[in-house]
Amino acid sequence: MSGGGKRPGNSSRWLRRQSTDPYVKAAKAQGYRSRAAYKLTELADKYRLFKPGQRVVDLGAAPGGWLQVACAEVGDTGKVVAVDLTAIDPVPGAVLIEADVAAEGLSARILEALGGKAGLVLSDMAPSTTGHAETDHMRIIGLAEAALELAGELLAPGGAFVVKLRQGGGEPAFFRQVQTRFTSVVRAKPPASRSESAEIYLVARGFKPG
C-alpha cells in the first residue's frame, strides 16, 4: 500500500525523468515529500475539497505528501488521521496509524482519533505491481473498493471522497458503486499526473449515509 510518489525502480530512464520533472523540483523546493502532493492541491483547488477545521482521513498516506497538504489545509483546528501499512515519518498535526485498510476494527480506531465523523476521505493507495496489467488493475480496484467501504463508515453526511484508480476495464463498475453513495461523482486527471500514466481519480461529493 502506498501513498503515491514512491520510486518505482532504479532505471536510468526513471532517474532522467525525475531530474527534469518540474513537479519533482518544486516538491524539493517547497519541502513536500513527494510530487504527488501537487495532484492533491490541484484537485483540492478545482473541487474545493478542504475547509479549515475539517476532519480528514488519508488512506495509503506514505510517504506523506498528501498528508502534508491535508494538515496545512485544515489548520490547527482540524484533525487528520493517516493510515498506511508502512511507517510514516511524523507530520505535525497528524495522527498516524500503521495498519492494513482491511484490518478489523480500523474504522473505530480512526473515528476515535478523529473525534467524530470525517468530512473528507482520501485514498492515493496503489498496490505493489506484478508487471501483469490485468492483475495490477484488479489489485488497484480492490484497494479502491476497500477505501470506499471505509469511507462509508467514516464520512459524515455530505462528505467527500477522493480515490485513485487506473484505467483498464474495471473502473466503470466501481464508478457506478460510488454513484450510489454520493450525489456527485466525476473522473479527474490533475495536471501533475503524468500524461502517459493510466491513473485517474474519482472525486465524489455529497455522501449519502446508508
Instruction: Please return the burial class of 153, using the count of CB atoms within 10 Å of its CB with bins 0-12, 13-18 and 19+.
Output: middle
Q: How many CB atoms lie within 10 A of CB 129?
A: 13
164 a catalytic residue: yes
Backbone angles phi, psi at 177, to 5 degrees: -60, -45
C-alpha neighbours within 13 Å on the C-beta side of residue 101? 32
Catalytic-role residue among 25, 51, 164, 208: 164
Residues 6+ positions from 176 with CB-CB distance below 8 Å: none
Transcribe 149-189 into DSSP letters: HHHHHHEEEEEEEEEEEE-SSSHHHHHHHHHTTEEEEEEE-
Nearest to 39 by CA among 53, 29, 49: 49
* Active-site residue list: 164
